[in-house]
Amino acid sequence: MSNILNCCTLCPRECRTDRENSSGICGGGFLPRAAKAYLHMWEEPCISGTRGSGTVFFSGCSLKCCFCQNYKISAENFGKEISVHRLSEIFLELQDMGAHNINLVSPTHYVPQIISALDKCRDRLHIPVAYNSGGYEKTETLELLRGYVDIFMPDIKYFSPELSEKYSSAPDYFEYASRAVSKMIGLAGKPEMDENGIMKKGVIIRHMVLPSHRRDSEAVLREINRLFDKESFLLSLMSQYTPFYKSSEHKEINRRISTYEYEKVAELAAGLGFKGYMQERSSAKEEYTPDFDLIGIDK
């Protein structure tokens, strides 16, 4: 683990920070840092089910999204450093609480630590592991997860490099995200559900429609349709955008999306024949954003 972290190139930023002695661009150091671990009921139905998804929110992020609803942990790095052993305990505690799966949120910069934690408990962990990320991933890092992760839940946020640079400081976002999804599909295979409709393995591609940018959303959908077999993933089209963090610096996104904007994108998704989920516009509320209070982190 230390060899990878001594000159970190886990994400496309490739900042080469020695994370034993300082934090990377993502905010991550040598020990995993997390802000909350609990049963999350607001993921897709096949993930949250009836008992909840055993979600661990990791602090820090390699993307710099100006509208991030979780900015308190992604940008401000709120959370607590924990040992790899404690992380493995958290996974088992969530399983004991009845979680349908272990849901790793913003995990990219802690992949080596997560693998070590899973090694410590894999003989006792009997539920799927889900990797829930912003999509800005290197295929080499994803390959490390072979045999460890069953479900991938990547965002594809933008098609336009101009938009991804403006809002996330990542002009190469789609290039990396599209390759990452291809790799995830190769690792997880086609979606599989259990007898209760809970996902066992597979990929859910998430796309959140941004206000003023439905044309880019439509471009994302057309590219997904061109690049990937529709049987190889599920699509989750989200309407939950709420102006957070630095959204006010950009007038065009400093509002919620309109019914018209979302419906036009949803119509295209339906016309292209995607399988998956369309989110109700009532999801665009601040109360759907969790409080980060270290619940489940401290023992």
Please tell me the total count of domains within the chain.
Answer: 1
Q: Is it the case that residue 86 has pLDDT exceeding 90?
A: yes
Residue range 132-190, pLDDT digits in tens:
999 999 999 999 999 999 999 999 999 999 999 999 999 999 999 999 999 999 999 99
123 inside domain: yes
Tokens representing 17?
A: 């920070």
pLDDT at 291: 78
**DSSP labels, 31-67:** S-EEEEEEEE--S-HHHHTTT-EEEEEES--S---TT
- pLDDT tens digits, one per residue of 111-134: 999 999 999 999 999 999 999 999
Which residues lie below 8 Å from residue 140, measured CB to CB, with a gap of 6+? none
Asked whether residue 279 is domain-assigned, the answer is yes
Predicted pLDDT of residue 2 = 60
The CATH number of the domain holding residue 14 is 3.20.20.70
Residue 294 within any structural domain of the chain: no
Could you give phi then psi for residue 197, rounded to 5 degrees? 80, 15
Q: For residue range 245-266, list pLDDT tens digits in order.
A: 999 999 999 999 999 999 999 9
Q: Which pLDDT value is given to residue 281?
A: 54
Distance CA 37, CA 248 (A): 30
What is the reported pLDDT for 287? 47
pLDDT of residue 39: 98
> What pLDDT shows up at residue 89?
98
DSSP string, 225-250: HHHS-GGG-EEEEE------TTGGGS
Give per-residue pLDDT as tens, 204-254.
999 999 999 999 999 999 999 999 999 999 999 999 999 999 999 999 999
Task: Tell me what pLDDT residue 288 has.
Answer: 54
Task: Specify the DSSP element, H or E, that contains 215.
Answer: helix 214-227
What are the angstrom distances between the C-alpha of 249 and each of 66, 75, 240, 255, 289? Answer: 9, 16, 19, 12, 21
Q: Give me the pLDDT at residue 289, please.
A: 65
- 155 touches 206 (CB < 8 A): yes
A 10 A CB-CB count for 9 gives 15
| CA dist list (Å): 31 to 86, 114, 147, 203 | 11, 10, 23, 28
pTM, to two decimals: 0.96
Beta bridge partners of 199: 193
3-class SS of residue 22: coil
Q: Is residue 293 part of a domain?
A: no
| 100: containing domain | 2-288
Compute, in degrees rounded to 10, the torsion defined by CA atoms 207, 213, 215, 219: -40
In a domain, 272, yes or no: yes
Residues 252 and 211 sit within 8 Å (Cβ to Cβ): yes
pLDDT tens string 55-85: 999 999 999 999 999 999 999 999 999 999 9
Domain-located, residue 116: yes
Look up residue 291 and give its DSSP letter: P
Q: Is residue 218 part of a domain?
A: yes
Question: 178-205, pLDDT tens digit by residue?
Answer: 999 999 999 999 999 999 999 999 999 9
